[in-house]
A = this chain, B = another copy of it.
């Protein structure tokens, strides 16, 4: 059975991505990162999502917080609140973490090579996160090319494929797809700034996008 490395953040998109990777016939290694993110509840959500999906393994890799500084998500400045959906799509937001997907995909590539996996799945989405440069297909394609030039597998003719099955889907379609694949959204967190009990703030960009997505999909969000 082919093995895939799947980036699992604990959020809604990566939970659906993990389900898609399994549907595609892969045995999955779920990969999460501890990079000192404010929304640490994500890591326990990631563990719950991975367990529910019966992954081969769930690995939590530390990323030195000194490398991923400079974002409202890692402690610099305030998480924006109360912005409309229309506002969220404009410009590069304060929650952009410099080169985050580049660093995460580099780790995933190293782990894939060691595990003999030829697929890396990432829940990047260019619709809701149009302001994040590293959520664009053009970046993912360039990364795949660089990764295959950096690795033994790439050089020896067993190249890595970077799969972003949600890239062009609106949130409502992601939710519908997840429900079809049996994803339990009650296990996921999307909030950038949850309270100490892990409850979503309901006002950050990510809460706004999630809430609008469930509304457009015509279903109730099982997580409060």
Contact = CB atoms under 8 A, between A and B. Distances in A.
A146 B142 contact: yes
Interface in A149-163: 149-152, 154-155
A138 B145 CA distance: 10
Nearest to A69: B114
A193 B134 CA distance: 38
Contacts of A214: none
Interface residues of A, number: 42
A96, A102, A105, A133 — most chain B CB neighbours (10 Å): A102
A61 B59 contact: no
Contact of A110 (B98, B105, B152): B98
Nearest to A110: B99
Nearest to A147: B102
B110 A100 contact: yes
Given A61-B67, A134-B151, 13 more contacts: A99-B113, A99-B147, A101-B150, A102-B147, A103-B103, A103-B107, A103-B110, A105-B106, A133-B150, A134-B150, A142-B142, A145-B145, A146-B146
